[in-house]
A and B are shown apart, each in its own frame.
Chain A
Amino acid sequence: MSSDRLRRISWWDVAIIAITLVVLLVAAGAVDNFGSSRNFGFLVLDLLPIALIALPMTFVVITGEIDLSVASTLGLTSAVLGSLWNQGLPMETIVPLCVLLGAVLGAVNGLFVTVFKLPSLAVTIGTLALFRGLAFVVLGDSAVADFPAAFTSWVTGGVGGGPIPNALVLLVVLAAVAGLVLHATPVGRAVFATGANEQAARFSGIRVDKLKFWLFVSSGAVAGLAGVLWTLRYSSARADNGVGLELAVVAAVLLGGVSIFGGKGALPGVLAGVVLLATLQNALRLEDVTNESLNIVTGVLLIVSVLLPNLGRSLRATLRRRRLRAARHT
């Protein structure tokens, strides 16, 4: 059991965590102003939506599915938040409603995938466009900005006015819950089993469809929460909030060592992937590296992250074959 859990933390996880730590240390030492507490706050706020959405995305990708509608869910939640606020609902009601809305949108994805047996890639590309379209129906071309300072400053502020961002506490709590569920509960084992071999998982009594359905619901709910935080951080509810964010999330998840084919991955690696991408972006920007170069760096990192584990695997396979052949000849 415990060795089983350890095996899931692969050498890639260790490598990506080590690389992330090295990059953080180098940035703190070599990049002016990187290590300041204000910059730390900026870094956390920049990576927050990606890290949050990456938590359920890790589960979804490990089961062999994908959810590309998350950024549109974020945008639609943001638009609905602005619209409800304009209609005079109290913020304390709007926030849970928005998370609930995210869950409902996730349930739509889940239904299409589990009941109609459609591939999640196709379904969520569809809802990516659909939810974004609905966001524009809700809020149109307007933006809502007059949110209460108590809420906006909670998102941008620190614990007790200190340097540790409130948002970080929220992220750490949710990440701890997700990590425990994935790596220490029957649900987590069901996720890995489903991704490794869905047929086998079904035969061993795992309710695969139910599992997937609830994973899409969680993915939607967290995207909804991210939509709330995004809106409050930028004090701006807009239908186009978070456009393209799904790619950043998937990039971080893959960089974090989760196999796009399912069955493999670990949460610490994913979180390291998120931090690595955000740190590189933050530090390189402080060094006046242009956006184009930043995209190139991110692209190369991604290809390397997909390439290296594959190379490692084929190398091991070749070695094993040679050893077998050698054994046969003696």
Chain B
Amino acid sequence: MSRTLSSRAVVVAAAATMAVVLTACGGTTKGSDTGPAAPGGSAAAADPDAPLQEGVKMAFLPKQLNNPYSDIEVGGGEAALKELKGEYKLVGPNDASASSQVSYINTLIQQQQDVIAVAANDPNAVCPSLNQARAAGIKVVSFDSDSAKECRDAFVNQATTEGIGQALVELAKEAAGGSGEIAILSATPNATNQNAWIEVVKSELAKPENSGLKLVKTAYGNDDDQKSFQETQGLLQSFPNLKAIVSPTTVGIAAAARYISSSNYQGKVAVTGLGTPNAMREYVKNGTAAKFALWNPADIGYLAAYAGVALKSGQITGQQGEKFTAGKLGEYTIGADGEIVLGPPTVFDASNIDQFDF
């Protein structure tokens, strides 16, 4: 018995070592292969006069379900599809993980949807299955959080990365009273857009006019209320001179504001960032978060739906310079890399917050 086991161990170890030694010389290394090629894509030219089709089956796949922010986004999509007489569908995982989105994309391919609108949890992990969808004739619009650009036809961007990053720095400066230590409370460490914004924030902070602000830490609350709450607690304990917490995610900003409101840090540490009026109303009124910004998330879904139906109808193909009309939002022109920019973010404060309900 024992001899069987130990001799087996020797064999396993020897085999593993052999495999490593044998393969160490030569092989497939980084750069020797450029990764999967994108499928042919839409070769047909756009016909700007093509009528918008009715009955387009469009599925929305947000980062996760039951997230108040995603709910509003896809709600805009639902409203747009009602106007366009399309079929709206909502699917998605309960956790904001990349791999679970893949199963949903696979399901949508099987169900032969016409258009998939996806907010990617990981720009690359969803890529192979999105390309399978496109090979099956499905149009893919990414919204909110882009997938790798060779895996979708168009991307509805809530705002330019630079625009958001600059707005965050301005809000932070105001919240910190011009200078002092600030910290960022982000979503997941891999969140595409949060990371892009944080990069802009960092480069803005390097400019001389912002030299008074010092970013001491970027914490990750994983878009989970409890984790964000705990991370806020940690930030306040680690950095006693903290002036402001900037949270570029709706879950994070609400958790940070809630913690500070209920602690003796209220009035000492300000919260700002990107949040929804309904979640932040209380904290705007009690002064914890005097100002924060956001685009109207319902408009993102609305624009994504119009872009999706326009793609399906052949009005646009996702090439730069193509134009289409998105209902009440008016005319949009597709930018470089198939990007469609919604517009500048709205700043909310005590004077205007009651005009918004989302």
**Do A and B make up one complex?**
yes
Spell out A's residues near B (CB within 8 Å): 32-34, 36, 38-39, 42, 46, 85-86, 88-93, 96-97, 99-100, 103, 136, 140-143, 145-153, 156, 186-187, 190, 205-207, 210-211, 214, 230, 234-236, 238-244, 281-282, 285-286, 288, 290-292, 295
CB distance from B212 to the nearest CB of A (A): 27
The answer to whether B1 and A149 have CB atoms under 8 Å apart is no
The answer to whether B1 and A143 have CB atoms under 8 Å apart is no
Spell out B's residues near A (CB within 8 Å): 1-2, 4-6, 8-9, 12, 16, 19-20, 23-24, 26-37, 65, 89, 91-95, 97-99, 102-104, 106-107, 109-112, 122-125, 127-128, 148, 188-190, 195, 220
A146 to B28, CA, bound (A): 12
Q: By DSSP majority rule, is chain A's interface helix, strand, loop, or mixed?
A: helix
| Residue in A closest to B27 when the chains form the complex, CB atoms | A90
The answer to whether A207 and B110 have CB atoms under 8 Å apart is no
A205 to B112, CA, bound (A): 60
The answer to whether B107 and A206 have CB atoms under 8 Å apart is no
A76 to B312, CA, bound (A): 41
Chain B residue contacts of A187, Cβ below 8 A: 1, 4-5
| Residue in B closest to A235 when the chains form the complex, CB atoms | B124
| Residue in A closest to B94 when the chains form the complex, CB atoms | A291
| Residue in A closest to B20 when the chains form the complex, CB atoms | A96
The answer to whether A88 and B4 have CB atoms under 8 Å apart is no
- B128 interface neighbour in A32, A36, A152, Cβ under 8 Å: A152
The answer to whether A93 and B189 have CB atoms under 8 Å apart is no
Chain A residue contacts of B220, Cβ below 8 A: 141
A210 to B31, CA, bound (A): 44
CB distance from B320 to the nearest CB of A (A): 25
Chain A residue contacts of B1, Cβ below 8 A: 186-187, 190, 205-207
The answer to whether A148 and B32 have CB atoms under 8 Å apart is yes
The answer to whether B110 and A36 have CB atoms under 8 Å apart is yes
CB distance from A324 to the nearest CB of B (A): 39
| Residue in A closest to B36 when the chains form the complex, CB atoms | A149
Chain A residue contacts of B125, Cβ below 8 A: 143, 145, 234-236, 238
| Residue in B closest to A89 when the chains form the complex, CB atoms | B29
The answer to whether B110 and A33 have CB atoms under 8 Å apart is yes
The answer to whether A141 and B23 have CB atoms under 8 Å apart is no
- B109 interface neighbour in A38, A207, A242, Cβ under 8 Å: A38
On whether A214 and B5 interact (CB within 8 A), knowing A235-B36, A241-B99, the answer reads yes
